[in-house]
Amino acid sequence: MSGKRANGEGSIYPYKNGYAAYVWVTKPDGKRARKYAYGKTREEVHEKWLNLHAEAKRGPVATRHPTVGAFLSYWLDSVVKPNLAPLSYVSYEGSVRLYIAPHLGSKRLDRLTVRDVREWVTKLSTVCQCCAQGKDAKREPRRRRCCAVGECCEAYPSRRVVQAARDALRAALTHAVAEELISKNVASLVKVPKPRRRRIKPWSVAEASQFLTEAAARDDHLFAAWVLVLCLGLRRGEVLGLTWKSVDFERGELYVDHQIQRAGRQILHRETKTEDSDDFLPLPALCLKALRMRRAQQIGDRKAAGELWQNSHDLVFTTKYGTPIEPGNLTRMFALRARRAGLREIPLRNTRHTCSSLLVALKVHPKVAQRILRHSQIAMTMEVYAEASEEEVRAAIGKLSDVMGGTG
């Protein structure tokens, strides 16, 4: 009879227009509870019932599953925000809000499949974000020019944006697996095309020297910043985050342990990303002289600003009122100085590659270059192994100082 249970189906029974079954499972919190399965036929429910039994034997089983959107909100607020860097939170939050939640947010977390993720990745690259986010509609009526007036501007996400969105989903599902809400990370099984890196030729020794010579001739208040960027390979945030306490004029050393970052609407003065990034770097004569000039300039700025001065962190590089310099502004000022000097423009972040080129051109040992650039692995500098002493590091930076010595 259709209403009777077959052998081995002790928990399967007729339910509404089909059948239902349950299995006693242990939840992630250690408590016991029934986990139900439903289907239109006895065979369908029996298969689900067997799968539940197998899942219960492997370990704890969640009896309630949130939607992808609800879990992502929890993950951002309870996992990412208190444990990761502010910039990581901003990046993940943007990916979730703009690209993941609108497409996958309503799906139940445990029912998200590899196919769902693959279709989402494929679709995402064909969705105009101006249309999806209503960017043109938010403008004043007289300034609307594309999507809001029926002319799609085809602002499709780049490969890098699509990859970042997939990576954010993968990171969230990794945590869902750790919390035993799901058994596998379906996002990790979906491949996305890697964005192509644009190769930019770094400045030569002559071009870097020309840039510094022009900056010195104009009495540029950021001359010392450019010297540190080109001679020591400091990153943008590291230069802006330097404090006078980090500069030891007597010993001729610079300690890099803080950075300035833009995170959403905040400018943060925080520690560098990892302890490997912290280091004492020897300062050649050129760098020392540039920093002394900068200190004199800042004393003058402070007197001129009077009560408006507000350099709370004692930063080396500030605006004329002592406030931190916006990282984006430093990038724009670097491009402006390059044009003034008659040089081809390169991104500010590529000055680290320029420093590498300068060190290689000057026949500096790869291990010494690794110490100066503070790479965690020698492969990031070049695949050569050697030892570097403090004297060799000082000598290497001294060579750079000699090449650019005409700016002093």
* DSSP assignment string, 92-158: HHHHIIIIIHHHHTTSBGGG--HHHHHHHHHHHTTS-HHHHHTTTTTS-GGG--SGGGT-----PPP
Pick 223 or 25 by higher pLDDT: 223
Do 276 and 369 reside in the same domain of the chain?
yes
Say if CB 95 and CB 165 are below 8 A apart: yes
Q: What CATH code is carried by the domain that includes residue 380?
A: 1.10.443.10
pLDDT average, residue stretch 48-56: 84
Contact 236, 262 (CB under 8 A): no
Q: What confidence tens digit (pLDDT) does each residue in 282-302 have?
A: 777 788 889 999 999 999 999
The answer as to whether 7 is a domain residue is no
Confidence at 385, pLDDT banded by 50, 70, 90: very low
What's the confidence (pLDDT) of residue 383?
40
Note whether 166 and 189 are within 8 A (CB): no
Q: Is the pLDDT of residue 382 over 60?
A: no
Characterise 339 by phi-psi region: left (phi > 0), alpha (psi -120 to 50), beta (else): alpha
Question: Which pLDDT belongs to residue 384?
Answer: 36
How confident is the model over 85-91, as a mean pLDDT? 88
Confidence at residue 194, expressed as pLDDT on a 0 to 100 scale: 82
- Among 159, 189, 219, give the residue marking a domain's end: 189
Identify whether residues 358 and 309 lie together within a single domain. yes
Same-domain check for residues 378 and 235: yes
* Average pLDDT of the residues in 247-270: 84
Give the residue ranges of DSSP H helices in 306-389: 327-340, 351-361, 366-373
Mean of all residue pLDDT scores within the chain = 83
Examine residue 3 and state whether it is found in any structural domain, yes or no: no
**Least confident stretch, 337-341, 358-362, 399-403:** 399-403
Residue type, position 291, single letter: L
Assigned domain for 74 exists: no
Burial class (CB in 10 A: 0-12, 13-18, 19+), 45: buried
Q: So what's the pLDDT on residue 309?
A: 92
Between 196-200, 238-242, 403-407, the lowest mean confidence (pLDDT) is in: 403-407
Please check whether residue 1 lies inside any domain of the structure.
no
pLDDT over 80 (residue 346): yes
Question: How far apart (Å, rounded) are the C-alpha atoms in residues 333 and 46?
Answer: 69
The answer to whether residues 239 and 362 belong to one domain is: yes
Task: Say whether 290 sits in a helix, a strand or coil.
Answer: helix
H/E stretch holding 89 reads helix 86-95
**42 domain residue, yes or no:** yes
Examine the domain organization and report whether 282 and 140 are in the same domain: no
Considering the domain architecture, whether residues 291 and 212 belong to the same structural domain is answered as: yes
Q: What percent of the chain has pLDDT over 70?
A: 84
Least confident among 79-93, 261-275, 321-335: 261-275
Q: Is residue 194 part of a domain?
A: no
- pLDDT value for 331: 93
Strand locations in 242-388 (E): 247-248, 253-256, 258-263, 266-271, 279-282
Do 286 and 160 have their domain in common?
no
Strongest mean pLDDT among 212-221, 271-280, 291-300:
291-300
Please tell me the predicted confidence (pLDDT) of residue 394: 59
pLDDT of 112 over the 80 cut: yes
Distance (Å) of CA 237 to CA 19, 225, 270: 62, 11, 10
Segment among 29-43, 115-129, 130-144, 230-244 with least mean pLDDT: 29-43
Q: Tell whether 231 and 341 lie within a shared domain.
A: yes
320 vs 356: CA distance, rounded Å? 32
Q: What pLDDT is attached to residue 386?
A: 36
Nearest Cα neighbor of 110 from 177, 21, 44, 46 is 177
> Taking a C-beta distance cutoff of 8 angstroms, is the pair 159, 174 a contact?
no
Are residues 27 and 96 part of one domain?
A: no
Half-sphere exposure of 189 (CA within 13 A, CB side): 11
Do 45 and 137 belong together in one domain? no
For position 223, what pLDDT does the model report?
A: 93
Q: Is residue 326 part of a domain?
A: yes
Do 54 and 95 fall within a single domain? no
**Domain total in the chain:** 3
Other Cβ atoms less than 10 A from the Cβ of 169: the count is 27
Percent of the chain with pLDDT over 90: 36
Q: Range of 39's domain?
A: 12-58
Element (H, E) at 237: helix 236-240
**pLDDT for 204:** 79
106 — pLDDT class (breaks 50, 70, 90) = very high
Average pLDDT rounded to a whole number, residues 318-326: 91
Residue 79 domain-assigned (yes or no)? no
Considering 137, 161, 189, which residue would you say is the last residue of a domain? 189
pLDDT at 63 over 90: no
Mean pLDDT along residues 325-346:
92
- Please check whether residues 94 and 54 belong to one and the same domain: no
**pLDDT range class, residue 8, cuts 50, 70, 90:** very low
